[in-house]
Amino acid sequence: HVSGDYYQYLLLPDGRLGVAVGDVSGKGIPAALLMAVITTSLREEALRHTSPAALLNQLNLNLLDRMQSTNMNSALLVALFDPATRHVELSNAGMVQPYVRTENGWEFVPVGGYPLGASIRSNYTARTVTLAPGAMLLFISDGVIEAQNREGEFFGFERLEMLLNETPPTISSAALVACILQAVRTHLQGLEAQDDITVVAMKSTDL
């Protein structure tokens, strides 16, 4: 199988951890080739920009001509975690908004923007959240939400949020990912997923 979804972990020279999750429009080889170009540029630009918003702005400039010539674009969400402060700075170019779990439960992080390649305007912004020990961040591609069963019903946000709210605060990031993927497989009722599915979770721990 060839996928247009992608994710990367970036260990930055200043000690921060970058997490990137993206989704290229289209299917097959063209999407996979564009994905390879984006991930290469992403790793290069992550070394030059300390802000995820500036990183997305530069990526959009770098890739705009190529994407517009092929009528393609790419959603991309970038999070930069500073272990010294436990702050995560997030910028979003068209991905599903991330979820954060704090002591108050699960909620959206309200950050969004156009996919890369969709507009010549580069004006991405960032949000910062603090991950106290035990807090979690969840990133998903739209293949999770848009998975359809034999009756044509989407998995949807409501099912996902019910599942998230039923998970114990002690659940590990790996167990959360496995739980979501199993729930989507069950919903599909044996059908093949209609789109690529990506789930990335990160949990702040007290070392």
How many C-beta atoms surround the C-beta of residue 12 within 10 A? 14
Give the residue from 66, 41, 34, 69 showing the smallest Cα distance to 56: 41
Give the residue from 112, 104, 110 showing the smallest Cα distance to 129: 110
Q: How far from chain centre, in Å, is Cα 205?
A: 21
Helix (H) or strand (E) holding 196: none
Which pTM value belongs to this model? 0.91
Task: Name the β-bridge partners of 195.
Answer: none
Look up residue 105 and give its DSSP letter: E
What is the spatial order of strands in the sheet that 199-203 belongs to? 105-108, 99-102, 136-140, 199-203
What's the rounded Cα separation, in Å, for the pair 82 and 120?
A: 30
Cβ atoms of 162 and 197 within 8 Å: the answer is: no
Q: Helix, strand, coil: what percent of the chain each, to 5? A: 35, 25, 40
Dig out the tokens for 67 from the structure.
């994407």
One pLDDT digit (tens) per residue for the chain, 207 residues: 556 788 999 999 999 999 999 998 877 777 778 888 888 999 999 998 889 999 999 999 998 888 888 888 899 999 999 999 999 999 999 999 999 998 889 999 999 899 998 888 778 999 999 999 999 999 999 999 999 999 999 999 999 999 999 999 999 999 999 999 999 999 999 988 888 899 999 999 887
